[in-house]
Amino acid sequence: MKDDYWNTILTSSRITSESLSGLHGDSTGYFNVIKKINKDLNAFVFYNENIQTRKVDAVHGDATHAASSTHSIPCAIKSNIAMKGMPLHCASNLLKDFTSPVHASAIAQLLDAGFSIVGLTNMDEFGMGSSTTHSIFGRTANPWDIGRSPGGSSGGSAAAVAAGMVPFALGSDTGGSVRQPAMFCGVWGLKPSYGAVSRYGLVAYSSSLDVIGIIAEQPSWLRKIFSIIKVKGRDPKDTSSFYPQKTPSEQVKKVAVYIPRRNIAEEIRNGMLLAVQQYRNIGYEVTEIDLPIFDYAAAVYLNISTAEASSNLARFDGIRYGTRDATAQSSADLVRRSRNAGFGSEVKLRVLTGAYILQSGFQDQYYTKARALQKHIQKTLLSLFKHYDLLILPVFPTQSFRFDDTQLSDFAQKLGDTFSVVANLAGLPAASFPVAWYNGLPMGAQVVGPLYTEDRICLFLENTAHLFEHRYSPYAKKFFEHSSRDLQDREAMMKDL
């Protein structure tokens, strides 16, 4: 069976209405297959079976609500991104009964382009975690091995894409939360420049670092979806949003590569060396470099992100937002009881850490120094990109880890974000991509570029994807089988992209 939506998305950034029945049989059957696969993975935590889509006029390009029962290309969103009428629980007990009154700007743009949002994906509570285990809905499993983590905090989105249930999903990236799960699940993940996608409708974790990102089944989708959800100049609902009309050149000649000498698994090192050799084979000028900024990047990130989290989550008090404790005896008691029952252990830890960092007597010692080092990281990367077009480095020190891995504690997972947080601290675009498979698990790397070079990064990934093997997870193959999608046709179309 031919997958018409591949041709549709590749020929236009404005998607005309396309029936789900043409992709997966009737839409009821599509959701039945998702639910069957999802029992093992727990990637979806809410299904939007009453889909309301918009048709796009092929001539005028204006969006109107669809009058028919047809639907467009399916996609999923992380549970901390607002869609009007759908839950906005952020995988937290505190917001378990909260329904969004608005569309996030990025969601409105997806709907205007004709996409169908079929459900919400699991996540670490309020985006705080690297494993998608800190959730009121339980943990999400990796489609390559259900005993392993899909990464976090956007692990639900990555697992849904890697399992073939949707061709792409939105996540949020504060310190690698799109790129790390994409790497663990063997798919592609893009974190745009800070402000390139409006943050309106994204529940804030760390306001100066948060970005809505894209996880996709193959690289050409990243550029197409980004062109739809990026801000067109500015978003009046988000003063931090901006994207210029003219962006830097898409040309790539010189590539810098950072391969750590220690604290990295042999499989990750071998994958990086393979990537270097492949790029050199097709003519890129590749230079291995050393970057001391990674010695303190994780500490800087944790200082800034927890400090901002303690401020942002102060609004969730059981009064303005959140589930109230009916037994409270006073307003102060209500706030204390609501947060104690509503927040999970990881959120409590980060909020308390942030409050400690910001308290009188400690702010200069921790937060102010972290901000100074953040500026140093920004200047270091700015200087680097005067000589190189792109920087390639690891995403995480290991492949996907087992849930019962006692050697990789929550704190060790935080330190593992060392390589991914620098792009957020500098506000730069970055994307992770699969490179190789070791022990039946994907291994990937990431590419970072100067500000507003999303097109440069995406085209680089598209032009070099043939250098590396692409595989479908066991659960993706199972999904294709149950949904009557022809995997051979799918593979043939992949090769033609």
The bridge status of strand 116-121 relative to strand 44-47 is antiparallel
**Per-residue pLDDT band at 400 (split at 50, 70, 90):** very high
- Terminal-residue alpha carbon distance, the chain: 18
Q: Is this structure's pTM higher than 0.85?
A: yes
Q: Is 177 a catalytic residue?
A: yes
pLDDT of 494 above 50: no
Catalytic residue among 79, 100, 131, 177: 177
Whole-angstrom Cα Rg for the chain: 21
Nearest to 268 by CA among 413, 447, 399: 399
Condensed to tens digits (0 to 9), the pLDDT of residues 251-269 reads: 999 999 999 998 899 999 9
Catalytic residue among 153, 154, 220, 473: 153
Catalytic residue among 55, 78, 224, 230: 78
**Per-residue pLDDT band at 486 (split at 50, 70, 90):** low
Nearest to 452 by CA among 428, 475, 484: 428
Nearest to 278 by CA among 433, 448, 450, 455: 433
**CB contact set of 466 (below 8 Å; sequence gap of 6+):** none
Question: Mean pLDDT of all residues in the chain?
Answer: 88
Contact 168, 126 (CB under 8 A): no
The half-sphere exposure of 290 on its side-chain side, counting CA atoms within 13 A, is 4
pLDDT of 150 above 90: yes
**Per-residue pLDDT band at 26 (split at 50, 70, 90):** low
CA geometry: angle 333, 334, 340, nearest 5 deg? 90
What token pair was written down for 58?
Answer: 């092929």
Contact 199, 241 (CB under 8 A): yes
Pick the CATH number of 4-252+430-496 from 3.40.50.1820, 3.40.50.970, 3.30.420.40, 3.90.1300.10: 3.90.1300.10
Nearest to 342 by CA among 358, 356, 328: 328
What token pair was written down for 84?
Answer: 């009007």
The strand pairing partners of 438, in sequence order, are 441
pLDDT of 429 above 90: yes
Name, of 203-207, 218-222, 331-335, the range with top average pLDDT. Answer: 203-207
Q: Is 130 a catalytic residue?
A: no
**Percent of the chain's residues with pLDDT above 70:** 88
Condensed to tens digits (0 to 9), the pLDDT of residues 295-306 reads: 999 999 999 999
Lowest-pLDDT choice from 304-313, 377-386, 409-418: 409-418
The strand pairing partners of 434, in sequence order, are 444
What is the Cα–Cα distance from 139 to 130, expressed in whole angstroms?
11
